[in-house]
Amino acid sequence: VTLAACDVGDREQVRRLVGGVPAEHPLTAVVHAAGVPNYIGLGEVTGAELDEVLRPKALAALHLHELTRESELSAFVMFSSGAGV
C-alpha cells in the first residue's frame, strides 16, 4: 500500500501522481477521501460555501476517473460526508 497526497482538484498534479506509479507495482485501487472541512449546518450554508465543499470532491472524482480509466483497478472508492451526497 502506498499513500500519496496531492491536490486532486488540480488535474496536472493527479496526472503526475498517476503517471509516477512504477510499472512493476501498478495501480490496482484508488481510495479518494479528500475534502474541505466546513462545519456549517446544511440549513445555514450558502451557495458559495456549498461550492467550496463540493467542488473539490467532484473535480477529484472526475480527474481520478479520467486518469485511471485505462488501469485495471480492483476498487475505486470515494468517501464523503452525508451532507456531500
Question: In the prediction, which pLDDT does 35 show?
Answer: 67
d(CA 79, CA 34): 8
**pLDDT per position as a tens digit, 2-29:** 888 888 889 999 999 999 999 999 999 9
User: Could you tell me if residue 24 is inside a domain?
Assistant: yes
Q: Any idea which residue has 479520467 for its cell?
A: 66
User: Could you tell me if residue 1 is inside a domain?
Assistant: no
User: Could you tell me if residue 73 is inside a domain?
Assistant: yes
Counting the structural domains of the chain, the total is 1
Name the residue range of residue 33's domain. 11-84
User: Could you tell me if residue 37 is inside a domain?
Assistant: yes
**pLDDT per position as a tens digit, 25-55:** 999 999 887 666 666 666 777 888 777 777 8
Specify the DSSP class assigned to residue 30.
E
User: Could you tell me if residue 15 is inside a domain?
Assistant: yes
Classify the phi-psi angles of 45: left when phi > 0, otherwise alpha if psi is within -120 to 50, otherwise beta.
beta
User: Could you tell me if residue 6 is inside a domain?
Assistant: no
